[in-house]
Amino acid sequence: MEIITDNNTEEKRFKYFGAGLEFAIIYFKNILLTIITIGLYYPWAKVELLKYHYQSTALDNSRFTFHATGKEVFKGFIKIYAILIALYAFLIFASQSQDLKLITTATILFYVFLLLLIPLAIHGSVRYRASRSSWKGIHFKYLGDRKELFLLYLKGLFFTIITFGIYGAWLQVDLRKYVLSNLRFGDLSFKFKGSGGELFWITLKFILLIYITLGIYGFWYYKNIIKFYVDNLEISQDGKPVSFKCNIKTADIVALLVINFFLLIFTLGLATPWVTVRTFKFILRFIIIEEGLDTERIQQVSYDDYDDATGDDFMDFLDFDVL
């Protein structure tokens, strides 16, 4: 074990300790329980897999912890399913009427409602995940305002629609900026420095080059996107910002994705847990917190005991992950 001094401000690296077979047992155990219970066990399964990844991730010799419970996530699921079933029932009811006008209105309402749920879900999800995540006994906390985020999203959605999707990049970055600027870890705060223009350029290059290069440009795109999200992240202690850095190269991405692809294909998907562990190990290896952050001096501020997982479950339904 390293010597613990008063000043602990050197460069920090993440390390992932997960192991393929160990995770495979947890992964398949949860699949089995989910099948036996016809899906009812899913919330508990989701929580256990996340707990595993958290507990396997170390920074500065200390592991992360995920404090969520299956029960909280289950309650959220019930709410989400109640909403969705009501929405579908409405849609089915309308479609049986044979009235084209009514069907069109119902379909539009259905999608508008789903779209409007997204910012509320982001808010709930981030707040829940933050409240349930800790490191060195210090909890994350999300201070964002639901209404502010909703209006920000509404504005972005409007511009995205009238610009035929172009503004989408700015919307995405604005949401990230808002969420991160309201995220705290004890007395530390976060900031996202990236701009919508940068993300738009990355996406545009992808669209222009992906077909010409027969998909090969995808590797560069992945590298750019990872670097965009990590390199633009900043954490502040006592008003002094410290940057995150990701030194990943395109060749690393090629090695990661090509081998993952073959692992999945030749095992008919059985290698999924190994691929997951491999990906975490790989990506976290390249992420650095630059010099200047004293991880011995972070103060717990206050704790937000937010146990409503509904937003997080909705994001799960849409297949989005806030992390």
Partner 1 sequence: MSYTILYFDGTSSKMHKALLQITALKWAITFTEDDGSSKIISWDTANIKKTNVYTEKFVSFSYGKSYPFQRIESTDTALIEHVNAAKNIDLHKLDVLLHTNKRSSFLYLLTAILGIAIGMYFYVIPTISTHFISNLNHKSVEGFGNFVFKVLSTDLEIDAEKTKKLQYFVDAIQIENTFPLEVYVAKSEDINAFALSGGKIVVYDALLEKIENESQLLALIGHEISHIENRHVLKNVTRNLSGALFISVLFGDISGINTVLAENAHLFSQLSFTRSLEKEADIYGLKIMKDNKVNLCGMSELFEILKEETKFDVPTYLSNHPMLKDRIEYTQKIAKEQGTISENTLLKEKWDALKTTFTNIDLKNE
For partner 1, the closer CB: 48 or 174: 48
Which H or E element spans position 157? helix 146-162
Query: Residue 154 Cβ, how far from partner 1 at the closest point, in Å?
Result: 31
Tokens at 217, concatenated: 């440009």
* Cα–Cα dist 162/176, whole Å: 21
Query: Residue 55 Cβ, how far from partner 1 at the closest point, in Å?
Result: 5
CA distances 257 to 17, 75, 212, 303, Å, are 20, 36, 20, 39
* Cα–Cα dist 265/192, whole Å: 37
Q: Which residues fall within 8 angstroms of residue 312, CB to CB, at 6 or more apart?
A: 73, 76, 121, 124, 125, 128, 129, 322
What are the b/e assignments for 41-76, b being 16+ CB within 10 Å?
A: bbbbbbbbbbbbbbebbbbbeeebbbebbbebbbbb
Query: Residue 258 Cβ, how far from partner 1 at the closest point, in Å?
Result: 14
For partner 1, the closer CB: 65 or 181: 65
For partner 1, the closer CB: 85 or 204: 85
26 within 8 A of 48, measured Cβ to Cβ: yes
For partner 1, the closer CB: 171 or 271: 271
Query: Residue 188 Cβ, how far from partner 1 at the closest point, in Å?
Result: 9
For partner 1, the closer CB: 24 or 225: 24
For partner 1, the closer CB: 162 or 268: 268
Query: Residue 159 Cβ, how far from partner 1 at the closest point, in Å?
Result: 32
Gap between the terminal Cα atoms of the chain? 30
For partner 1, the closer CB: 8 or 195: 8
* Cα–Cα dist 246/280, whole Å: 14
Residue of 291, 281, 303 whose CA lies nearest to 60: 291
For partner 1, the closer CB: 21 or 214: 21
Query: Residue 119 Cβ, how far from partner 1 at the closest point, in Å?
Result: 26
Query: Residue 187 Cβ, how far from partner 1 at the closest point, in Å?
Result: 9
Applying CB under 8 A, the residues found at the interface with partner 1 are 1, 4, 6, 17-19, 21-22, 24-26, 28-29, 31-32, 35-36, 39, 48, 51-52, 55-56, 61-63, 65-67, 96, 98, 134-138, 186, 264-265, 268-270, 272, 295-300, 302-303, 305
Query: Residue 193 Cβ, how far from partner 1 at the closest point, in Å?
Result: 24
Query: Residue 201 Cβ, how far from partner 1 at the closest point, in Å?
Result: 28
The angle subtended at Cα 131 by Cα 127 and Cα 135, nearest 5°, is 130
Helix axes 196-212, 217-231, angle to 10 degrees: 170
For partner 1, the closer CB: 246 or 256: 256
* Cα–Cα dist 68/323, whole Å: 15
